[in-house]
Each structure stands twice: as C-alpha cells, then as structure tokens.
Structure 1
C-alpha cells in the first residue's frame, strides 16, 4: 500500500491486517524510481505501513521500476523487492470477466498476480480470479508463503513486455 492510501483508509488497513492479509509497502508516492531523487527513493523504500512489524519487509516498486540505487537502498533498509509475473490489467476499461480470463490464461503455480486497490472493477475481478484459481486446484497464499527467487534481466524484460504489450 502507498502512504496516502494508508492515511485515507486506516480502518480498512486495520481490517485487512486483522483478517490475516499480508500488508507490505508500495512506497510513499506512486512514482517510478527514475523520477525520484536519491533521498526520495530512500524515503520511498524505507517507509512501511507497519513500521513496528518484525521480520523482513517487502517493497513493490511502483510500475516495478528500478533505478541503479533501488536494490542497494532496499538492502540497506532491510527490504526485499517483490515483483509479479502476471498483470491483471485492472487499470484498463475492460470488464471483470475479460480481465479474469486474460489473467487466468497466464497463471501458473507460484505466480504472483498484480492487482490494484483503486479501480472499481478490482473487487469483482478478484472474486472471478479466486473462483478460477479454485477451479484449477490452486490455492491463493501470501508472498511470505512463496519461495523467493531472483529473475534475470532477460526474464524481467519479458515480463515487462507481457504486462503491457500482450
């Protein structure tokens, strides 16, 4: 979650946490790392919705964007970068059923699906995705339940093209 979203919906944040959802940081601002000064990027990565929480904190950079400083800052602030491999495209004007079909076509065991907390279509899309996952025998889990793995530059570019180009 971004800092403005947490400030705007503190009750929702508490409800999500109480329901057992994993809440991690998306930064203070929804800006690509290349549009931040180094000290802004430090503040972006170091911020967390639950600063008193123990253990590693995950950080999902807006747009998945990195600068040359992103990973070193993440390391120095005790963050791990969390990305996705399936983009739901819930930010487009497509109906939930079409978005769900597209998203489910790209899912494989261990996939991380990117959804957003702003679009009106997202709750309906999430319901359709959960149904589709159950029909495939897949169980949704938190990021802490997945084994982290590094991706190389080639896979990163392929994911970026797949998210926004096809």
Structure 2
C-alpha cells in the first residue's frame, strides 16, 4: 500500500449517495440506526477518491467514526483512546493485515467495534477480474469471521474507487458499499491540528468520517482523535457503528 496516497486527489463537496443492496442478518446485539441514503445514478469516477454516501433525516446527532487499512501498530493506540472516551467505531480492515495481527483484530471486536471489509490487499477493484474481485472480498470475510463469528456486510473499496461494475459485483456478494462524507486528509499527514480542524468543520449529523489506523505513520491521527471526540461530544453528538444490515 506504500505510495497509494500520492495517487489520490481530494474530491471535495460530493454529496451523492451510493448504497448497494445486500442481504443477511445483522447480530441483534449490534442493531443500530444506519445512515439513510438515496440511490440516484452516479457517474463512474474520473479519480480514485470518490466521496460518497450522504446520510439524511436522522433524529439524533449521530456521527460514524471509521478507520481504514488496519490492523497495525497504531490500532492499539486508537483503541485505547476510544475506550477511554467510551466511543464505538467501525474498522475497515485489510485481510492481509488481519492475518498478521489476528490478536489485535480480535481485540477490536472484543472492545465492541464493528469490523468490516476493505479488501485483502488494497487494490483498485475496478480493474480486477471477477475471480480476483471475489478473492479480495471473500478471503477478507473469512479472516474477519474467524475473529468475530459474523460475516461483514459493509464493503469499502480501496481509494473509494467505485464504478458500475464494482457496485454490481458487491451486490452479487451481498455487500453494501459504505464510503464517507468527511475526509480530513489524515492519510496525507497534514498535522494533528489540521486533521482535527477539518473534521470538526465538516461533520454534520449522520456524517461518516474517514480516518486511517494503518497504511503508514498514523501518529497525527492518534494525536488528533481525543480533541475530535471531546468536541463532538460537547456538541451533542453520539457515536454509532456501521453494520450495513
């Protein structure tokens, strides 16, 4: 995954929604309100970082904190902060990283967070053959299932790279696509203050925030997280997990 961030420009202001229908039961203990999304036609992206999924109409000030590309050495620090502030989040995990850090993936689950699918090795899934696409998703499902006992229903394609074929294939595997509405650019390491400032400026009720706990040096994300959580709580936000059920 080294170098992928250099290929990814920011697409600001996109608020179109993408949700691919899936099926399957969600553990009853994990039932939570999910962000309401519409299903307009979405053009194929010209760039790989497509910011989509704009929730609307929620009764509470809900925010979804999500973390991509783990597990890694920084996941432990993120977990400690989330536990200290009694916050639950969603971790979109890389299958190959789970294999290297199975105990850590198990800890994410045991602390009450949602583990979801972010592919096996972080490719642009638009260019994969159907057999390769299935391996990326199903092999990661298997690793998550070993640690949690459930099969994830959310899929976040790497780079937010989504087109008609990716949506169709995800649906065939009973996956719903979940991307984000707020990208504070933590992957570019702009500084902890910048990460916190951009997040707090952009979050709205129902927002899905993109952070990273893997894929590189994530010390800035770790440093920014306490202020973000404290400020959002002071603004009356509650923190929910994504399940896509």
> Aligned match of 2:199 in 103, 107, 116?
103
> Aligned match of 1:61 in 128, 145, 157?
157
Question: What is the CA–CA distance in structure 1 between the aligned matches of 2:205 and 2:163, rounded to whole Å?
Answer: 30
Preserved contact between residue 126 and residue 161 of structure 2 (Cα < 8 Å): yes
- 2:198 equivalent to 1:112: no
Unmatched 5+ stretches in structure 2: 1-92
The CA deviation at 1:44 is: 2.1
Question: What is the CA–CA distance in structure 2 between the aligned matches of 1:44 and 1:78, rounded to whole Å?
Answer: 14
Preserved contact between residue 130 and residue 140 of structure 1 (Cα < 8 Å): no
Higher relative contact order, structure no. (Cα contacts within 8 Å, ≥ 6 residues apart): 2
SS in 1 for 2:117: coil
Q: Which runs of 4+ in 1 moved over 6 A?
A: none
More helix by share: 1
Unmatched 5+ stretches in structure 1: 149-166
- 2:95 equivalent to 1:3: yes
- 2:232 equivalent to 1:133: yes
SS in 2 for 1:121: helix
> Aligned match of 1:85 in 178, 181, 184?
181
Question: What is the CA–CA distance in structure 1 between the aligned matches of 2:110 and 2:150, rounded to whole Å?
Answer: 16
TM-score (norm 2): 0.55
Question: What is the CA–CA distance in structure 1 between the aligned matches of 2:152 and 2:106, rounded to whole Å?
Answer: 20
Question: What is the CA–CA distance in structure 2 between the aligned matches of 1:96 and 1:90, rounded to whole Å?
Answer: 8
Preserved contact between residue 56 and residue 78 of structure 1 (Cα < 8 Å): no
> Aligned match of 1:40 in 119, 132, 135?
132
Question: What is the CA–CA distance in structure 2 between the aligned matches of 1:76 and 1:130, rounded to whole Å?
Answer: 36
The CA deviation at 1:73 is: 1.4
- 2:150 equivalent to 1:51: no
- Which moves more between the two structures, 18-27 or 7-16? 7-16
- 2:174 equivalent to 1:75: no
Aligned residues: 146
Question: What is the CA–CA distance in structure 2 between the aligned matches of 1:37 and 1:10, rounded to whole Å?
Answer: 28
Preserved contact between residue 116 and residue 152 of structure 2 (Cα < 8 Å): no
Task: Summarize the Cα distance change of 1:10–1:113 in structure 2 as closer, same or farther, 3 Å threshold.
Answer: same
SS in 2 for 1:108: coil
Question: What is the CA–CA distance in structure 1 between the aligned matches of 2:109 and 2:163, rounded to whole Å?
Answer: 31
Q: Residues 1-39 of structure 1: CA distance to partner in whole angstroms, max 9, x if unpaired?
A: 001221121111111100100000100121212332332
